[in-house]
Amino acid sequence: MKSTVLKSTITGLILAATSGTAWADKADDTLNVAFTKELENVDSYFNSSREGVVLQRAVWDGLIYRDPVSNEYMGNLATEWEWIDDTTIEFKLREGVKFHDGSDFSADDVVFTVNYVADEANGVKTQRNVNWMKSAEKVDDFTVRIMLKENFPAAIEFLSGPVSMYPSDYYEEAGPEGMGLKPVGTGPYKVTEVVPGQHFKLEAYDGYHDSPKGKPSIKNVDIRTIPDVNTQMAELFSGSLDLIWQVPSDQAEKLAARDEFQVSNESTMRVGYLTLDAAGRSEDSPFTDVRVRKAVNYAINRQELVDALLKGKSKVVYTPCFPSQFGCDEDAAVEYEYNPEKAKELLAEAGYEDGLTIDFYAYRDREYAEAITSYLNAVGIDTNFKMLQYSALREQNMKGETVVSFQTWGSYSINDASAMVSQFFKHGSLDYAMDDETLEYLNIADSSTDEAVRKENYTKAIERITEEAYWAPMFSYNTNYVTTNEVEYTPTADEVLRFTTVSWK
Amino acid sequence: MLQFILKRLGLAILVAFTVSFISFSLLFLSGDPAAALAGETASGEDIEALRRLYGFDRPMLVQYGEWLFSAMQGDFGESYYFRLPVASLIADRLSVTMILGVCGITFALLTAVPLGVIAAIRLNSIIDRVALFISVAGQAMPSFWFGLILIVVFAIQLGWLPPSGTETWRHFILPTIVLGYYAMPAIMRLTRAGMLDVLNSDYIRTARAKGANETRVLFRHALRNAIIPVVSLAAVQMGFMLGGSIVVESIFALHGAGYLAWESIARNDLPTVQALILIFSMFYIVFTFLADVLNAWLDPRMRSS
């Protein structure tokens, strides 16, 4: 609360102190952007941050492109593709594409990239993005086949997202470290300068192919890492930044009230939820009783949380996945409307008429987590609030030591339910339900190439998970993008800032 | 004297290793480094793979021994987060922090010592009260608040200075003032108190009675003695500025070693944290040592002790 007051005061001070400012960099065609987080490595296979995804989409291309609005798959470095069998996809590649270093793109690059990233020994950071691929082989210079380890229908989605194509000769020599310092791709922007953790300069690539991503409209993009949001705002006011994003809602509201700035809000795929220890992995979990799990679900006023805290395009979520994801059937989910009386009844039925006390864990968004605990307290579930570093909480989660924790999951912008529901309900170390029936549905859904079969089984899994109230899904997150009035940008729901769609007014 | 210095140095190195060992153990217990490394999107399998890859599954003492052996040869390993050699990563960041630290302590000394002296000479005057007010304000005002006020006034409203970054010397002006102002009150008060103490002492009275020039009394006799504790304090403050300029570096996006340390702890980037702890503790030790030497020069009595 104190920090919110402080933040508002600081924002107010900055706002009060400023008047109309002249924006400098439209003249030299440079878009000045701030990242809050230091990026560990620009090589997209060796970072797992949102900022890394933004650079990945600007610097490299994948074989396939998914339109972020229509969700339609289109050819990018591939012009067409075909499933040869359940575990083989053949791609016809686009001819005449050149990497930023002038080398030609061909089947050899795809073969090298896939074989490199699929090999666990090479240590790609987010293994899930690549470990479904076994290998790739060249058919001819512009035809290539990717072999999967097993049936994996979400392959096309992954190939349209985190799987970028690298220049084989260059990458073989430079490796992740060299690629991180001097990135080379086929993407709409080439990197002209990298100062690790501090600064990235991009320049529109003149030779960019006819990609569905579109050609850049702004020639230069200058990205600086500025950790403090207030400083970002000061830079915005002083005219040395044109675009900032991930701006907290209270500050975004104040900026929106001013004429010099444009605030756009868009939802993201990140979903906030409570995990409840239904499997009894921790000692004395009250959540082995379905009535207590349901009580938690009834106790929380999700809409009020969205309206008061998250704001923007966040919405209430009842599914254990983000609704736009393939297979995430909202109608299948049991919707636990806010009903504290019902929650109290269920607790009484379960033998907790005098209430109970639990350890409640969280690792981010303290204000959301605290608001959630206040709803729980109101129905008689007292909470010992424990805010931990992410790594510490993750470790405890994996060891099965947390009875209830507030978690979030962004699915790495993969628009497929497998990226979320299957991540947590397939008896892995983070599965607190350990439900065989759910596992069975997910195994079918994750491995079938028949869309109807996939949908049907995800639906059954969602029905099962929500009927049993294994989780208490809460809400989706949103992001605020603030630009000066000179900049035109319409954000997309996958929280990928695409510089090709930014333009001057 | 030489034996004394060598003894002190030996002890200092022992302190540095003890600090590094304790911090190594504590960091190890603070959370799963593999989970921190893998990031939020990783699955349990990703984390297990990283644990094996980096050898986190081995006993902690073995890991510490290996690190120490390499560190003594100047090899601090590779940052888990940046995948760059820690030595070069820190070298880049340390230069920013060093510039900031040196400028900060210089600013603090140049403002605090004269102010302290004048306040002591003109005890209970307006100048004394103003000096005390400045000192109380400096102690009471959080650095992030003061930093933002300066940004609002000098960067946004007046447009004289850049709000953040390290591109030119102008970028260092505001952070220097904020960091220096944080160290200044303690130095000012100590100088004032020291001067008051010394000015009331017998030998000053004797010097005056002998008809010594007042400027000579103040600067040759009084300040030279009053400054001795200030030297020790400034050394400690300098050490603090190098390790603890996190807030200032964060507000002004300076990307120095202090902010790197803070972020590296949050990311469980053990090689970077270890190297920084060792370097920062060495700085403290070196500055304290230098302060002792300087004090011995200022006060001959200390040389014999």
Among the ranges A184-188, A392-396, B249-253, which has the highest mean pLDDT value?
A: A184-188
Nearest to B46 among A126, A177, A388 (CB): A126
Residue B39 has pLDDT above 70, yes or no: no
**Cross-chain Cβ contact B83/A240 below 8 Å:** no
Q: How many beta-carbon pairs under 8 angstroms link A with B?
A: 140
**Cross-chain Cβ contact B44/A428 below 8 Å:** yes
Residue A130 banded pLDDT, cuts 50, 70, 90: very high
**A86-100, A203-217, A399-413, B273-287: which range is least confident on average?**
B273-287
Q: Cβ contacts (< 8 Å) between A412 and chain B: which residues?
A: 41
Distance CA A487, CA A242 (A): 7
Closest CA to A293 of A332, A336, A329, A341: A336
> Which has more confidence, B294 or A489?
A489
Smallest CA–CA separation between B257 and chain A, in Å? 12
Does any CB of chain B come closer than 8 Å to the CB of residue A120? yes
- Mean pLDDT of the region A470-476: 96
**Cross-chain Cβ contact A240/B251 below 8 Å:** no
- Average per-residue pLDDT for chain A: 91
Distance CA A208, CA A264 (A): 28
Does any CB of chain B come closer than 8 Å to the CB of residue A46? yes
Q: What one-letter code names the amino acid at A321?
A: C
At A305 the pLDDT is 96
Residue B25 banded pLDDT, cuts 50, 70, 90: confident
Distance CA B245, CA B239 (A): 10
Does any CB of chain A come closer than 8 Å to the CB of residue B53? yes
Distance CA A442, CA A435 (A): 11
Closest CA to A94 of A102, A106, A81: A106
Does any CB of chain B come closer than 8 Å to the CB of residue A180? yes
DSSP string, A210-263: S-TT---SSSEEEEEE---HHHHHHHHHHTS-SEEES--HHHHHHHHTSTTEEE
Nearest to A428 among B43, B83, B163 (CB): B43
Residue A18 has pLDDT above 60, yes or no: no
Distance CA A118, CA A148 (A): 10
Portion of chain A with pLDDT greater than 90, in percent: 72
Distance CA B36, CA B247 (A): 23
Distance CA A326, CA A417 (A): 6
* Chain A residues 394-433 with CB within 8 Å of chain B: 394-395, 398, 410, 412, 423, 428-430
Closest CA to A471 of A405, A422, A389: A405
Residue B267 has pLDDT above 70, yes or no: yes
- Mean pLDDT of the region A351-361: 94
At B22 the pLDDT is 82
Does any CB of chain A come closer than 8 Å to the CB of residue B39? yes
At A1 the pLDDT is 40
Distance CA A327, CA A454 (A): 7
At B156 the pLDDT is 86
Structure tokens given for B192: 């004032």
Residues B17, B19, B20, B25, Cα dihedral to 10°: 120
Q: How many other C-beta atoms lie within 10 A of the C-beta of residue A197?
A: 24
Per-residue buried b or exposed e for A345-366, using 16+ beta carbons within 10 Å of the residue's own CB: bbbeebebeeebebebbbbebe
* Chain A residues 142-161 with CB within 8 Å of chain B: none
Does any CB of chain B come closer than 8 Å to the CB of residue A125? yes
**Cross-chain Cβ contact A225/B251 below 8 Å:** no
Structure tokens given for A24: 């400098």
Cα dist from B223 to A431, B16, B215, B218, whole Å: 69, 34, 10, 6
Q: Cβ contacts (< 8 Å) between A40 and chain B: which residues?
A: 81-83
**A121-130, A210-219, A456-465: which range is least confident on average?**
A121-130
Q: Cβ contacts (< 8 Å) between B252 and chain A: which residues?
A: 231
**Cross-chain Cβ contact A234/B149 below 8 Å:** no
**Cross-chain Cβ contact B83/A226 below 8 Å:** no
Among the ranges A40-44, A204-208, B48-52, which has the highest mean pLDDT value?
A: A204-208
Nearest to A226 among B46, B157, B164 (CB): B164
Residue A151 has pLDDT above 60, yes or no: yes
**Cross-chain Cβ contact A231/B151 below 8 Å:** yes
> By CB neighbour count within 10 A (0-12 exposed, 13-18 middle, 19+ buried), where does B153 fall?
middle
- Nearest-by-CA chain B residue for A11: B148
- Nearest-by-CA chain B residue for A412: B41
Per-residue pLDDT tens for B206-221? 877 777 777 777 777 7
Does any CB of chain B come closer than 8 Å to the CB of residue A258? no
Q: What one-letter code names the amino acid at A325?
A: Q
Q: Which residues, in sequence order, are CB contacts of B202 under 8 Å at separation 6+? A: none
Per-residue pLDDT tens for B108-142? 999 999 999 899 888 889 999 999 999 999 888 88
**Cross-chain Cβ contact B157/A17 below 8 Å:** yes
Does any CB of chain B come closer than 8 Å to the CB of residue A10? yes
Residue A273 has pLDDT above 90, yes or no: yes
Among the ranges A88-102, A406-420, B11-25, B234-248, which has the highest mean pLDDT value?
A: A88-102
Per-residue pLDDT tens for A288-309? 999 999 999 999 999 999 999 9
- Regarding beta strands A220-225 and A30-35, do their DSSP bridges make them parallel or antiparallel, or are they unpaired? parallel
Residue B20 banded pLDDT, cuts 50, 70, 90: confident
**Cross-chain Cβ contact A228/B253 below 8 Å:** yes
> Which has more confidence, A362 or B219?
A362
Closest CA to A200 of A210, A211, A192: A192
Smallest CA–CA separation between B236 and chain A, in Å? 28
Does any CB of chain A come closer than 8 Å to the CB of residue B3? no
Q: Cβ contacts (< 8 Å) between A46 and chain B: which residues?
A: 83
Q: Which of B27, B29, B30, B41 to mutate to test the interface with A (most CBs of A within 10 A)?
A: B41
Residues in chain B, total: 305
Smallest CA–CA separation between B186 and chain A, in Å? 26
Give the distance, in angstroms, between the CA of residue A462 and the centroid of all CA atoms in the same chain: 21
Nearest to B39 among A48, A197, A428 (CB): A48
Residue B77 has pLDDT above 90, yes or no: no
* ipTM for the predicted complex: 0.73
Q: Helix A249-256 to helix A2-17 angle, to the nearest 10 degrees?
A: 20
Does any CB of chain B come closer than 8 Å to the CB of residue A490? no
CB A32 within 8 A of CB A492: no
- Mean pLDDT of the region A262-283: 93
Closest CA to A389 of B29, B30, B23, B262: B30
If DSSP codes are grouped into helix, strand and coil, which group holds residue B211? coil
Residue A22 banded pLDDT, cuts 50, 70, 90: very low
- Mean pLDDT of the region B143-154: 90
